[in-house]
């Protein structure tokens, strides 16, 4: 007798794998010293993270459709699979980030904000931005630095990733859905 895989088990597995891959990507960036301090780096890191997420959410939706549901899946079911994968992944990566920011390198966020502040200052000076605008921007960085705590970062990560994952799942589900053939 074959054991049936539940939605929870299936999405938990894919979410855990996505979370582990995301943590490994984050560790590689940290070990190599690659910090998101300018526009190019932020875009590059975001695109790689987006690609990783798309691959695992798509694979999870298609796998659930083909292996568990026998080749068909509604838009609603695909959306649910995608959201659950992202939620499980987000929980894992958010706890990793919390542990990282509390114990591994508590100064990392400060270093990134300070490096970003320095890069922005140089960039604004080079383009000839007015001194008042530069000062306002530097004050915003200082406020961001003052307000940055590991717990606040944890909750922001959960919140933003859930929204992002829902939107991404909405799009991927449209391409993954496969209704039953009404003729068959």
Q: Which of 108, 111, 84 is nearest to 96 (CA)?
A: 108
Q: Which of 117, 106, 154, 152 is nearest to 36 (CA)?
A: 117
Distance CA 49, CA 172 (A): 16
Q: Which of 93, 95, 108 is nearest to 23 (CA)?
A: 93
Distance CA 18, CA 24 (A): 10
Give the pLDDT confidence score for residue 97 in this predicted structure. 94
Residues 114-173 pLDDT 10s: 999 999 999 999 999 999 999 999 999 999 888 888 999 899 999 999 899 999 999 999
Task: Using the predicted structure, report yes or no on whether residue 184 has a pLDDT greater than 80.
Answer: no
Residues 21-66 pLDDT 10s: 999 999 999 999 999 888 899 999 999 999 999 999 999 999 999 9
Residues 73-104 pLDDT 10s: 999 999 999 999 999 999 999 999 999 999 99
- The structural domains of the chain, with segments of one domain joined by +, span 7-105+158-176
Task: Using the predicted structure, report yes or no on whether residue 181 has a pLDDT greater than 80.
Answer: no
Place 4 in a pLDDT band, splitting at 50, 70 and 90: confident
């Amino acid at each position: 007798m074959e054991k049936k895989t539940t939605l929870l088990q299936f999405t938990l597995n894919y979410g855990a794998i996505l979370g582990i891959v995301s943590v490994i990507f984050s560790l590689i960036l940290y070990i190599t010293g690659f910090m998101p301090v300018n526009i190019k780096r932020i875009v590059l890191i975001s695109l790689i993270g987006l690609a990783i997420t798309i691959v695992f959410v798509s694979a999870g939706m298609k796998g659930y459709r083909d292996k568990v549901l026998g080749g068909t899946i509604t838009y609603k079911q695909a959306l649910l699979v995608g959201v659950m994968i992202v939620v499980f992944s987000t929980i894992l990566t958010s706890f990793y980030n919390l542990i990282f920011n509390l114990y591994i390198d508590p100064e990392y966020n400060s270093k990134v904000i300070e490096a970003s502040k320095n890069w922005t200052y140089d960039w604004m000076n080079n383009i000839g931005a007015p001194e008042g605008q530069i000062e306002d921007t530097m004050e915003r960085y200082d406020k961001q630095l003052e307000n940055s705590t590991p717990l606040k970062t944890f909750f922001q990560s959960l919140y933003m990733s859930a929204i992002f994952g829902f939107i991404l799942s909405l799009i991927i589900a449209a391409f993954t859905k496969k209704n039953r053939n009404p003729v068959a």
